[in-house]
Amino acid sequence: MVERVTTASDPTDAVLSESALSVHGVCDYVVNVATGCRHGCAFCYVPSTPPVRARKDMICAESGVESPRSDWGSYVLYRDDLPERLDAHLDRKRTWHETERGRGIVGVSFSTDPYMDDRAAGIATDVIRVLADHEKYVRVLTRNPTRALRDLETFVDAGEYVTVGTSIPSLNAEAVRALEPHAPAPASRLDALRSFAEAGVQVYALASPTYPDQDRAALRRLLERIATVDPAVVFHEPFNVRSARMSATRSHARDCGDRDLADAFDRLSGTDAWIEYALEHSRQVLELGADLSLPIHLCPHWQLTRAADGAVRKWFEAWRERQPPESFAGRPLSDDAPLSTPDFERR
């Protein structure tokens, strides 16, 4: 598959934005090194978010695309001067937003991949250096940790102020390639994360979003491989079938010839089927995580929580209120008692 991506500079003035990801204990702020992303993941929620929709005219003018959402993966607008502007911004900033779960952490970058290519990586590494110099905690998320390894010294120098993670939804390289056409293979992501850990950099992982055709054995293999990098926390989330990108996700799976995965997505069209899959995967990930001594944190989407009812809804809501079992940014290790998983009853 040939990758054709239009690149330009991003004129956006925003430097540091408060983030709703605090609800999952991920971060309180985000810094995005670019608008757009090379990976073109079919299920990516970003092109449907308000920041992209509100800047549609700018994105189209700068990139030449017709639709920032449907053309996701074909354009990247870089913020080359971001590190300098961020440094000046932090010098002036007198207050710092810090919630109980977000801990004042800055996410780099949660609306694009900070290490998708060399140009983005140069910006991201300087951003990490600036944040660490200002003693701000940084959570880096990338599907290309191999590229990030070239700047390992910056991560090591940042010490306690940085943690780096990657998303490994499945070990099935062909299925992952169908939905993440330009992202590195799962095995290479894990290898790179292991190298970070061996260098003394704290790491974490996202088993997210787990595919609906994964059975318990596949989930065990996935978590066993993740356990080899000794992550501080493993975030888990099932697919959100109410996402505006779900149609594109089904199409990608079918167009790439993965009929089993496409059929599995088709079976989730009903609300009950979606909730049953989400609950069962969550249950199995928790059970397997306990067997493997993995610190699991569930991140049910608000649309999933609202679609459920009764005990299942209360259980998802309870997870949205919990602290991640991760010692980072001064977060004390959670001593919350385990939550009993409710049974699913079709309505």
How confident is the model over 171-224, as pLDDT tens digits? 999 999 989 989 999 999 999 999 999 999 999 999 999 999 999 999 999 999
Residue 126 lies in a domain: yes
- Residue 18: left (phi > 0), alpha (psi -120 to 50), or beta? beta
- Alpha-carbon span 319 to 35, nearest angstrom: 31
Residue 162 lies in a domain: yes
Strand order of the β-sheet with 138-141 is: 17-18, 29-31, 106-108, 138-141, 162-167, 202-210, 234-238, 296-298
Residue 342 lies in a domain: no
CATH code for the domain in which residue 206 is found: 3.20.20.70
Instruction: Name the pTM for this structure.
Output: 0.94
Q: What is the domain extent for residue 192?
A: 6-320
- Alpha-carbon span 316 to 325, nearest angstrom: 17
3-state secondary structure 14-29: CCCEECHHHHHCCCCE
* H-run or E-run covering 273: helix 271-291
Number of separate domains in the chain:
1
Single-letter amino acid, residue 169 = P
Query: For residue range 225-254, what is the model confidence (pLDDT) as tens digits?
Result: 999 999 999 999 999 988 888 888 888 888
Residue 246 lies in a domain: yes
CB 227 within 8 Å of CB 294: yes
Residue 336 lies in a domain: no
The SS3 assignment for 241 reads coil
* H-run or E-run covering 133: helix 118-133
- Alpha-carbon span 198 to 122, nearest angstrom: 23
Query: For residue range 103-119, what is the model confidence (pLDDT) as tens digits?
Result: 999 999 999 999 999 99
Query: For residue range 110-145, what is the model confidence (pLDDT) as tens digits?
Result: 999 999 999 999 999 999 999 999 999 999 999 999
Task: Tell me whether residue 347 is exposed, middle or buried, using C-beta atoms within 10 angstroms of its C-beta: 0 to 12, 13 to 18, 19 or more.
Answer: exposed
Residue 345 lies in a domain: no
State the average pLDDT over residues 20-42.
Answer: 94
Q: Say which residue the tokens 């880096």 belong to.
A: 140
- Alpha-carbon span 202 to 160, nearest angstrom: 8
Residue 64 lies in a domain: yes
Residue 327 lies in a domain: no
